[in-house]
Amino acid sequence: MATRLLRRPLTVLLSAALIPAGCLLGTGPAAANDGVSQPAANYSSAATPSTPIAALPPMGFNNWSRSTCAPQAPLDGSNRLDYSFQQYMKDNAKGLADTGLIAKGYRTITVDDCWMYRNSSGYLHGGLNWGGATDVRNPAKQPGFDYELTAYGDYLHSLGAKFGIYETSGTHTCSTATPTAPNLPNGSEYYEQKDAASFVSWGVDQLKYDNCGDEEPVQTLDTRMSNDLRTAVTAAAGGDATPNITFNISAPAGYGNGSTKFAAMNWVRGLGQLWRVGPDIWNYGDGKNPWNVPLAGYNFGAYQSFDNTLELSRYQGPGNWNDADMLLIGDNGMTTAEERSQMALFSALAAPLVISTDARKFQPSYIAAHPAEAAHLNASVAILGNAEVIAVDQDPLGAGGYRVSGGGANADGTPAATTGVDVVLKPLADGGKAVVVLNKGSAATNYSLSLAGLGFSAAGCGYDVRDLWAHTSSTSTGSVPLTLGAHDNAMLKIAPHAGCGSFTPSGQITASRDNWGKASLCLDNYRSGTAVNNPVDLYPCSGGSNQQWRRNADGTIQLLQSGTTNLCLTAQSGTTTGAINGKSGQWAGVAPCGSAAGYQTWTYNRDGNLKLSGTAKCLDGYGGATTTSGTPVDLYACGTAPGSLQTNQTWAAPFSTPPAA
């Protein structure tokens, strides 16, 4: 294996024997939080949230993408063997605190894989050696963590931070070495209740739960840990069942893209508050700029992580968050423009904002002593601390964003990350819209943002336009001229003047991809035809008007193709021969709006189905294909939730509020 560690949280079955029960850890007073507004160490009945745990996307820090399990040296150049990984984590937390980022909301400080060790009695504790395979202190290895993590958690809480920790649902974590007998595997499988009690006793506020080493079904394991966390909290709270440990589940990311993943997107909602939905964002360590990295193994770049998560925005909502992985803002190799773009795109997703960088370098003393790095690091801190951008991510509506235009595919079908402009819109609770316009090209470009193209009724109306990076305000009645640097973005908040204007969600409709490495394809009016029942197909997203659709309040889906004014998505009334492939089917196409009663009204739900109203038929990529250009679109019996959803029947479409189940 290369020196860069790759976490692969796919479901893996290991041939390990059942592990006998060990000693039950006693539970005493604990420090935790309700995930909403209560401080640490609060178990009173008053702490019971009236809104979901994690009503807003969690924010914080995680070491994984920046440091993986690699030993870390002190910044002053002193001996690494005298510097524990626990101290490294504390120093990162101190950097966040001293820079003001904890106060900005980045509170949950999570130590990822390799912190732990399970002894021969079955007790999970801090590993004495970082990434070591024995319970004996090895002076040739970097020290790990204290045996008990209570003092470490207390330190984080003293900074106003929360304590996050990593484990896996299986027998072995994704990166730790097989222990030396008689010590036991480090994962939580068969030890869930004991480990949950330890986490509560130490004051853990959030558990990140991976998929490696699973011997039982992942749903069984995640359900068991979710229940055991509640049991442990209740015991520590003297019977008050306030559910106050946030649970971050990796299950959906372990299934690739397909029907099993969509089933998991349903069952995780009752178990936790956030969940990973795709591969790891690129690990630091090989000098590669992580902004644009095509899928390689179980890793891809910051843009690809955004692109993958975007099509799942329909699952977002208070207490339910798609985890797009980590912000690589700091010393990970991206340019300042790229860091600004990742922050904007992840905020438009309503993604958890979790920094993974060497936050020790954010300390004013470090910046002052390293003038060559100062401009970039100061810009990174400013990007992360931009209160107006954070407010978009933390908007209480909880909506993720959707792509109005852009995307696109390279010749090999991979997402186009180096050409074109992406326009992403996120609905906000106050009725305004946050809009990110991203220039993916390597040179600056001018762009005119059409308010009508976003879905605003712009005629005769004025709109307030707030630039969230420049912190300036302007007004517009029709369009907003923009100049975008290479890999940079404009992030705007747009709101109509009082009593003026309306909004109808508009933009691209894309089929769920069946491969992480491929681009989403757009619902496309075939060859821009205008004849009655002109077919629709799946085609690389081009930004063309024949791929622009408006979801009207009456359930019709209107084509916004230039030169047309009254064409709607229409199901044919019966079986015919397809104009695209010559096959027999009930095809979808376009026809004049109002011309085909019963065949032009569609419902859209959280599972992504576009169902023909009054029927059990869904818009369907013919033959199960979703990433093959030119695939015609038909009507077919809907796969049923939660276990039989079909990837070729799940669509990402514009919306005003997150769709219901």
Q: Identify whether the C-beta of residue 656 lies closer than 8 Å to the C-beta of residue 505.
A: yes
- Residue 167 token pair: 């484990």
Quickly list H helices, 238-363: 259-267, 302-310, 336-348
pLDDT value of residue 276 = 97
Task: Tell me how far apart the terminal alpha carbons of the chain are, to the nearest angstrom.
Answer: 43
Q: Which two tokens stand for residue 17?
A: 């024997």
Q: Which bin fits 382, alpha (ψ -120 to 50), beta or left (φ > 0)?
A: alpha
- Close Cβ partners of 369 (under 8 Å, ≥ 6 residues apart): none
Token reading at 181: 């007998």
Helix (H) or strand (E) holding 504: none
For every residue of 30-55, DSSP letters joined together read: -----SSS--SS--SGGGS-SS-TTS
Q: Which residue has the tokens 């024949």?
A: 546
Q: Is 321 exposed, middle or buried, given 0-12, 13-18 or 19+ CB atoms closer than 10 A? A: buried
> How open is the CA angle 64-311-660, to the nearest 5 degrees?
110
Give the strand pairing for 489-496 and 506-507.
Answer: unpaired
**What integer pLDDT is reported at residue 661 of this predicted model?**
83
The region that residue 477 occupies, defined by phi over 0 for left and psi between -120 and 50 for alpha, beta otherwise, is: alpha
Res 293: pLDDT:
95
Please tell me the predicted confidence (pLDDT) of residue 7: 42
Assess contact for 10 and 280: CB atoms under 8 A: no
- Gap between the Cα atoms of 291 and 342, Å rounded: 8
Q: Residue 466 is inside which H or E element, if any?
A: strand 463-467
Extract the tokens encoding 156. Answer: 């984080």
Question: Which regions of the chain are under pLDDT 70?
Answer: 1-52, 239-243, 285, 458
How do beta strands 463-467 and 421-427 pair? Answer: unpaired
The closest alpha carbon to 164, from 196, 126, 203, 125, belongs to 203
| Helix residue spans in 351-469 (DSSP H) | 364-369, 371-384, 387-393, 451-454
* Cα–Cα distance, 547 to 275 (Å, whole number): 31
**How far is Cα 488 from Cα 446, in angstroms, rounded to an integer?**
12
C-alpha distance from residue 376 to each of 97, 302, 361, 439, 524 (Å): 19, 18, 11, 20, 42
- One-character DSSP codes across 457-502: --TT--EEEEETTTTEEEEESSEEEEEE-TT-EEEEEEEEPTT---
Asked if 162 and 107 count as a contact pair (C-beta separation under 8 A), the reply is: yes
The string of DSSP letters for 213-245 reads: T-SS-HHHHHHHHHHHHHHHHHHHTTT-----S
CA–CA separation, 392 and 407 (whole Å) = 22
Q: Nearest-5° angle of CA 304, CA 305, CA 311?
A: 95
Q: What Rg, from alpha-carbon coordinates, does the chain have? A: 25
The pair phi, psi for residue 313, each rounded to 5°, is: -60, -25
Helix (H, G, I), strand (E, B) or coil at 658: coil
Please name every residue paired with 402 in a beta bridge, in sequence order, or none if there are none: 425
Report the C-alpha gap between 304 and 311 in whole angstroms.
Answer: 12
Neighbours of 284 (CB within 10 A): 23
Residue 261, CB half-sphere, CA atoms under 13 Å: how many? Answer: 26
**pLDDT for 477-492, tens place per residue?**
999 999 999 999 999 9
Distance CA 310, CA 304 (A): 10
Strands (E), 105-239: 108-111, 116-118, 124-126, 162-168, 206-210
